Amino acid sequence: MNDRSYLEQMVKLGISETEAKIYLALLAKRELSAREIHELTNVPRTKVYEITQKMILKGMCIAKKMGRRMKFQAVEPKRAFNKLVLEYQNELEKRKKLASKLGEFLLPLYDQGMKNIDVSEYIEVITDISSIHERYVSLLKNTKFELLGFAKPPYAFGGKRSKLEEQESAEFEMLSRGVEVRILYEYGSVQDLDTLLEHIKKCILRGEKARVIEKLPLKMYVFDRKYVLMALENKKTENSSLTMIVVEHSGLGKATSILFDHLWSKAKDYRELEVLTGRSHEYMDYL
């Protein structure tokens, strides 16, 4: 290793670069005056005394008065560095004790702050149909292990084929990553059962598990049992506008998953739609 490498290693140990330069100079020459240290290291002479005093306190060097002159001598490296490590350990123990005390003192403040948490921090309200579509696709792309769906009108793709295809594409990519997808489809309020059936068949071919039920209590999707995307019924107007909320809450996610499993056990095989549409003879068995 060259001097530069030694310098870099000493800096990693917690020694300042200036201290390291002076220490290396002292090791090479054994004893040096302040003027000689300045000439060898380019450290300003006015700073040499200040820095060497710090090094003496750290145990890296000692000062020797020779007549009217002061000379500095390096302490043997192992001794010097062991003393540094010991100081670091002592300082760490002090900080551990301080951290523990502060943790106890500040805990009541944390608890009080949690009581005052703003609901808006974990609940997001979306009223624009395009924004709902974008948020839904975003949640699909970030789902890691499970999606549960209560699917019923109105739909976030707003009748636009391109948006439906974007939603399907995001789901198919998610399925390719091994995410389990189970969707309950309401058919009692759907006017175009043929289109719904085509969509379900397409998704089943990619790995989705689907069942149908005549009536769902609400429109909702549960992502990784943590994020819940839920539709709110708009009682102030008679139109079919869609308002949805996104709630980040693991407790709600688990509760809605229990509801889903209950309804899933009561739902029918998706091929019931073939009977309802009178087209069962046209389709092969996809399961």
pLDDT, tens only, 231-265: 887 655 454 567 889 998 888 999 999 999 999 99
pLDDT band at 42 (very low <50, low <70, confident <90, very high): very high
pLDDT band at 285 (very low <50, low <70, confident <90, very high): very low
Residue 24, pLDDT > 50, answer yes
**Per-residue pLDDT, 7:** 83
The average confidence (pLDDT) of the chain is 85
pLDDT band at 40 (very low <50, low <70, confident <90, very high): very high
pTM of the model: 0.55
Buried b (16+ CB within 10 A) or exposed e, 66-85: eeeeebbebbeeeebbeebe
- Name which of 55-59, 72-76, 92-96, 233-237 the model is least confident about: 233-237
Closest C-alpha among 69, 227, 31, 265 to residue 135? 227
Distance of alpha carbon 183 from alpha carbon 151, whole angstroms: 7
Residue 43: enclosing H or E segment and its boundaries? none
- Name which of 2-6, 68-72, 144-148, 243-247 the model is least confident about: 2-6
Please give the C-alpha separations between residue 86 and each of 90, 135, 201, 264, 282, in angstroms, as whole numbers. 6, 54, 69, 64, 82
pLDDT band at 120 (very low <50, low <70, confident <90, very high): low
- Name which of 98-107, 163-172, 201-210 the model is least confident about: 98-107
- CA neighbours within 13 Å on the CB side: how many for 220? 21
Distance of alpha carbon 6 from alpha carbon 21, whole angstroms: 9
Determine the average pLDDT of the residues in 189-196. Answer: 83
Determine the average pLDDT of the residues in 14-21. Answer: 91
All structural domains of the chain: 3-77 (1.10.10.10), 120-282 (3.30.870.10)
pLDDT band at 161 (very low <50, low <70, confident <90, very high): confident
Non-local (6+) Cβ contacts of 270 within 8 A are 185, 197, 200, 201, 204, 210, 211, 212
| More confident site: 200 or 239 | 200
pLDDT band at 281 (very low <50, low <70, confident <90, very high): very low
72: DSSP letter:
E
Determine the average pLDDT of the residues in 180-197. Answer: 88
Determine the average pLDDT of the residues in 164-190. Answer: 92
Closest C-alpha among 199, 227, 228 to residue 212? 199
Residue 103, pLDDT > 70, answer yes
Residue 183, pLDDT > 80, answer yes
Cβ–Cβ under 8 Å, residues 224 and 253: yes
Non-local (6+) Cβ contacts of 186 within 8 A are 150, 151, 152, 153, 212, 213, 214, 215, 216
Going 202 to 273 to 266 to 246, the CA torsion angle's sign is: positive
Neighbours of 56 (CB within 10 A): 14
Residue 155, pLDDT > 90, answer no
pLDDT band at 227 (very low <50, low <70, confident <90, very high): very high
**Per-residue pLDDT, 213:** 93
**Per-residue pLDDT, 286:** 39
68: DSSP letter:
T
Helix axes 161-176, 193-205, angle to 10 degrees: 30
Neighbours of 31 (CB within 10 A): 14
Q: What angle do CA 257, 259, 263 make, to 5 degrees?
A: 115
